[in-house]
Structure 1
């Protein structure tokens, strides 16, 4: 194999002889030629070590035992003998919907196995098969700079005042939604929308627990990242809310629960007039200080499952301090959504009703 390296390097020579040309060195073994400019470390013999730093490009011939047969596209796989793992990598790459072996594109482990493989930029902005992008955020967000709904121009006859509930998986969003439904239904006309990826699980939970009459509860199956359905493409949720508004004459308010997602998954102001973000103590007292638009810019941050603080070693004082630091004047409510219809739920309801009254001009019931 013949290699032609153009680079400068330093040598430490021991007892054995090692000779190098400062512009290159050649090793003849097999009929494969590589032109390298890359970072590597060579050991020649036992007593000669070289450290090289340079970029590289490869040109592969057909007779390189190291690289295998030349393959330029997924179509070539059928014409040459290549390892099964390369076939899978090429097929996954050509499909462009998933990285091979269950990994993610843009990592060193999934860079292409051959010249034909597609390179993906390592970036916070990337697209998925459901057609949305993940924007790069420069800072965790500020409460007083949060995007707000244009309530002055909202047509509440077309879609009633909508409260968005977001939060990570397992934080207690659905338990809080159940508690809100049970308390608010005594004071006003309520409907609920749930979001799941491929099921109607949360809708069925509300129905089994008689949160509301069944015609007042509907489900959206997002089929992808939950935040896409509440921010980038809100059409399915808008349609669900508008249908509930049209079918329930006296409807006052819609409670819309997002599927579980991350700390950046906030609602579009075109969908939610008021937002709650639910985190839980079991996630650790570090969560508020991690920030993210949902933590810093939700209208109310709800810290749920406070009864578990001692069990998981979390400090409610630390969470209160960090919430204040991250949210400024933004309200934070500590809550036990499942305990006796919810410790702290009344405080959440007070925030909701004040916002509802201000937006609609109606008196708080």
Structure 2
């Protein structure tokens, strides 16, 4: 089983990314996927995932979705004290067999990371509408994540975000670790995203390529 932690600021597209990858993994690869969402004060993301992937599209069964309400600092529940998420992971894997589990953090700042006890692989999500300064700001989430996803590139012209600047800054900060630029709305860049994750799934022995 591969545990993929997904983190990034509120509104960057974490839940949308997880929904997209879950549907792709299930339909294209035949992989069983589980999802754990973290919210500070509600189960909003879990309810959204349940509505989209369980009820509407019937991609995964209902027992494959777990929603957590952390009630405090979002990165504490994934790093300093991940016990709540570890219990949820144990519960999930006890009631259903999954090959990949996505664990979505609540909205995070650039210093957030996942505990190695909780995630085998981490994806940090930024979006262009927040401005083109973020990759250059660095921070553990941006510099140390296994994959940086810069999302909503279709919005860049409307908010004055310089994608080339973001690309250059990401290369400097991440020192060779992969970064992909995507629009989940238009599909631009999605092939690069899938190819990177396909290789990681192969390394974990979940998928043959």
TM-score (norm 1): 0.53
Residue 228 (structure 1) shift = 0.3
Matches of 1:344 and 1:237, distance apart in 2: 31
Residue 169 of structure 1 deviates from its aligned partner by: 0.6
User: Any residues of structure 2 matched to 1:23-172 within 5 Å, and which?
Assistant: 160-172=1-13
CA deviation vs aligned residue, 1:4-54 (integer Å, no higher than 9, x gap): xxxxxxxxxxxxxxxxxxxxxxxxxxxxxxxxxxxxxxxxxxxxxxxxxxx
Measure the CA separation in 1 of the matches of 2:91 and 2:41.
21
Contact 1:196 1:226 in 2 (8 A): yes
Distance 1:338 1:178, change over 3 A: farther
Alpha-carbon separation, structure 1, partners of 2:106 and 2:170: 23
SS at match of 2:75: helix
- Distance change in 2, residues 1:203/1:174 (3 Å): same
1:184 has 2:31 as partner: no
**Partner SS for 1:193:** strand
Distance 1:269 1:167 in 2: 17
**Shift in CA distance, 244/344, structure 1 to aligned 2, threshold 3 Å:** farther
CA shift in 2, pair 1:242/1:321, >3 Å: same
> Is residue 111 of structure 2 the alignment partner of residue 267 of structure 1?
no
Contact 1:179 1:338 in 2 (8 A): no
Contact map agreement 1:274 1:352 (CA 8 A) in 2 = no
In 2, Cα distance between the equivalents of 1:248 and 1:165? 21
Pair 1:214 & 2:62 matched: yes
Question: Aligned-pair distance for 1:212?
Answer: 2.7
Aligned residues: 202
1:364 correspondence with 2:208:
yes
Shift of 1:225: 0.6
Alignment partner of 2:188 out of 334, 343, 352: 343
Q: 5+ residue gaps in structure 1?
A: 1-159
Question: Which residue in 2 is equivalent to 1:236?
Answer: 84
Could you tell me the TM-score, scaled by structure 2's length?
Answer: 0.91
**CA distance in structure 2 between the aligned counterparts of 1:240 and 1:346, rounded to whole angstroms:** 31
Instruction: Work out the CA distance in 2 between the residues paired with 1:350 and 1:275.
Output: 16
Q: Give the alignment partner of residue 140 of structure 2, picking from 269, 281, 293.
A: 293
More helix by share: 2
String of CA shifts for 1:169-222, please: whole Å, max 9, x gaps. 111111111111111111111111111012110011111112532221111111
Residue 56 (structure 2) aligns with: none
Whole-angstrom distance in 2 between the partners of 1:363 and 1:224: 37
The yes-or-no answer on 1:194 pairing with 2:22 is no
Deviation at 1:353, TM superposition (A): 3.1
Q: Pick 1 or 2: higher relative contact order, CA cutoff 8 A, min separation 6.
A: 2
Q: Distance in 1 between matches of 2:189 and 2:6?
A: 15
2: distance between equivalents of 1:345 and 1:218? Answer: 26
Question: What RMSD, in angstroms, separates the aligned Cα atoms of the two structures?
Answer: 1.4
How far does residue 362 in structure 1 lie from its aligned partner after superposition? 4.3
Q: Do 2:198 and 2:207's aligned partners in 1 also have CA atoms closer than 8 Å? A: no
